[in-house]
Amino acid sequence: MFSMLDIDPHIEEILENSLDREISSQEAELLMETNGNEFQALILTADTLRDNIMGDVVTFIQNWNINFTDICTGNCGFCAFKKNPNDKNSYFLDIDDIVKRAIEAESKGAIEICIQGGLHPNIDLFFYEEILLRVKEELPHIHLHAFSPMEVFYGASKSDLSIKDAITILKNAGLGSMPGTAAEILNDKVRSIICPNKLTTDQWIDLIETAHKKGIPTTSTMMYGHVENVKHRVEHLEILRNIQKRTGGFTEFVPLTFMHLNAPIFKKGIARPGTTGFEDMKLYAVARLMFRDLIKNIQVSWVKLGFKFAQLCLTAGANDLGGTLGEENISRSAGAKYGVYTPPSNLKRLIKDMGRLPAERDTLYQNIKLL
Ligand code: SF4
């Protein structure tokens, strides 16, 4: 397969085998360290596997984000979005305002509304329930993709509910799916540095598996490029792979590269300044080799990577370009240059220019419309 490239025979063997079987964690760690010809061969293999499994279609969704408050009692060291309750510039949308924005989003073509916010001291699980009920009352057909595992964990504990009961209440109120955020890096040593007050690795796994068992699918994410090493990244991917083997509830995997510029842990000198392009591409490629068709959809985030590099990462095993994203606030606070709504025509152009097939999808990848 790599006759034009002079590459290490052991890496070559791993890559050739990876077209027929999943790679082990040890093999993934080796591949994450490749450079030069081995790097080129890795990217080519991931792209070939993507083609074998998903074909040439590259999807995206017309969606809208509503971040209803930036007031948060959390203290994640990578977060430039949160404000303290007394901060003059903080905001807290009331539910009427959230509903108004959702109606506006739908009128502009959004079929999914993603609702998330900070851990406001005055809210609980029943506040989340009311948001869902009120939006669904006005827009019964809209897909509500809402509340991170941390928000559900927080809301449940504020309302004295088990995770199971909290998820049942949200599902009955119209929750369609949940973002698999708050995962960051699923290793408690890393979490104690970057997000000491967030739910633990085991709590995250338990919450996600409970959601899947209750019929609420989630995305899966990883936020990397701060204090973790390659072993932690692979350990994280292995955790996601094992969850998917047990539940089948992940719709996609979304790597989120650390935005360092305004992050407290970077300003304090604890974190490195994000990833390099090579690291990002290797992460996409290794994820494809580990997940194969188990988590079929691998998404590049143009908000984090920018349009040009997101396009390039679609050649490293990915098959989805995310959403049109009206109102993305969190990445912009963190220092991303992108994150304002982009029209479908822009995403379509990027995909077509690669010789791939642009298509719009829904949240669960069930309705794929070629453009
Ligand atoms: S990442 Fe979320 S929970 Fe953590 S400080 Fe920021 S808003 Fe709060």
Best probe residue, ligand 1, of 150, 265, 332 (max atoms within 8 Å of C-beta)? 150
Which CATH code of 3.40.50.10540, 3.30.450.20, 3.20.20.70, 3.40.50.300 fits the domain covering 57-370?
Answer: 3.20.20.70
Ligand 1 midpoint to CA 349 (Å): 34
Nearest ligand 1 atom to the CA of 75 is: 5
Ligand 1 contacts CB of residue 264 (under 6 A) = no
CA of 5 to the centre of ligand 1 (A): 45
| pLDDT score recorded for residue 162 | 98
Q: Is 118 in the pocket of ligand 1 (CB under 6 A)?
A: yes
Angstrom distance (rounded) from CA 64 to CA 114: 6
Give me the tens of pLDDT residue by residue for the chain, a chain 371 residues long.
Answer: 777 789 999 999 999 999 999 999 999 999 999 999 999 999 999 999 999 999 999 999 999 999 999 999 999 999 999 999 889 999 999 999 999 999 999 998 999 999 999 999 999 999 999 999 999 999 999 999 999 999 999 999 999 999 999 999 999 999 999 999 999 999 999 999 999 999 999 999 999 999 999 999 999 999 999 999 999 999 999 999 999 999 999 999 999 999 999 999 999 999 999 999 999 999 999 999 999 999 999 999 999 999 999 999 999 999 999 999 877 566 566 666 655 789 999 999 999 999 999 999 999 999 999 99
What's residue 336's pLDDT?
63
* Beta carbon of 74 within 6 Å of any ligand 1 atom: yes
Residue 256 Cβ < 6 Å to ligand 1: no
Length reported for the chain: 371
Contact between residue 269 and residue 237 where contact means Cβ atoms under 8 Å apart? no
Instruction: Output the pLDDT for position 3.
Output: 75
Minimum-distance ligand 1 atom for the alpha carbon of 73: 8
Whole-number Cα distances in Å, 313 to 133, 188, 236, 288, 351: 38, 29, 20, 12, 12
Take atom 2 of ligand 1 and give the residue whose Cα is closest.
118
- Residue 166: what pLDDT? 98
Nearby residues of 325 by Cβ (< 8 Å), 6 or more positions away:
63, 64, 65, 303, 339, 340, 341, 342
Identify whether the C-beta of residue 66 lies closer than 8 Å to the C-beta of residue 102.
yes
Ligand 1 mutation pick, 65, 115, 119, max ligand atoms within 8 A of CB = 119
Residue 263 near ligand 1, beta carbon < 6 Å: no
The answer to whether the CB of 72 is under 6 A from ligand 1 is: yes
Residue 335 pLDDT: 63
Ligand 1 atom with the shortest distance to the CA of 148: 2
